[in-house]
Structure 1
Amino acid sequence: MIRLPVPLIETNTRKIVTRLLRDSWVNVGGGKYEKYEHPERPEMMIIVPRHREQSLGVARSIARLAGWI
């Protein structure tokens, strides 16, 4: 059986937010979480909980919504 390489998913919140901002996502506020939307896709919103580390599932979901994987 051939194993395909699995893309590494970043779980550090600071690195996730830095990459979102670098990719032109704009912070639109939040309470216990931060909301980011893209100027070219205003219907799309990414929610990032305020934790130092995200769980792998949350990090994967953010990466999918941002178009990284």
Structure 2
Amino acid sequence: MNKLSRDLKPKKVVKALGRAGFEVDHITGSHYILRKGDLRTSVPYHKVVKTGTLRAILNQCDLSIDEFIALI
């Protein structure tokens, strides 16, 4: 299992999820809501996405850490 970077920008996370088939459904405040079929997740658009938050996003998207790293 590879390690996640601690300094991932939200733009990079949204692009990687886009490569996995997710589309931006809408934007609420500083959060991007992404959707792929029945799966839905929200990505906070702050300076960086913290590791714990990123892991929660990946769990909601049914992606492993290795799959996500391959998408970056």
1:25 and 2:22 matched:
yes
Mapped to 2, the partners of 1:12 and 1:50 lie a distance apart of 8
Shift of 1:55: 1.5
Gaps of 5+ in 2: 66-72
Number of aligned residue pairs: 61
Q: Which residue of 2 aligns with 1:68?
A: 64
Q: Which has the higher contact order (CA 8 A, sep 6+)?
A: 2
**Given the alignment, which residue of 50, 67, 70 partners 1:55?**
50
Normalising by structure 2, report the TM-score. 0.69
Shift of 1:21: 0.8
- Structure 1 or 2, whichever has the larger Rg, is 1
- The 5-angstrom pairing of residues 40-51 of structure 1 reads 42-51=37-46
Residue 2 of structure 2, aligned match among 3, 7, 11? 7
Q: Which runs of 5+ in 1 are unaligned?
A: 1-5
| 1:43 Cα deviation after fit | 2.1
Runs (4+) of structure 1 exceeding 4 A deviation are none
Provide the aligned C-alpha RMSD in A: 1.6
What's the % identity of the aligned pairs? 18
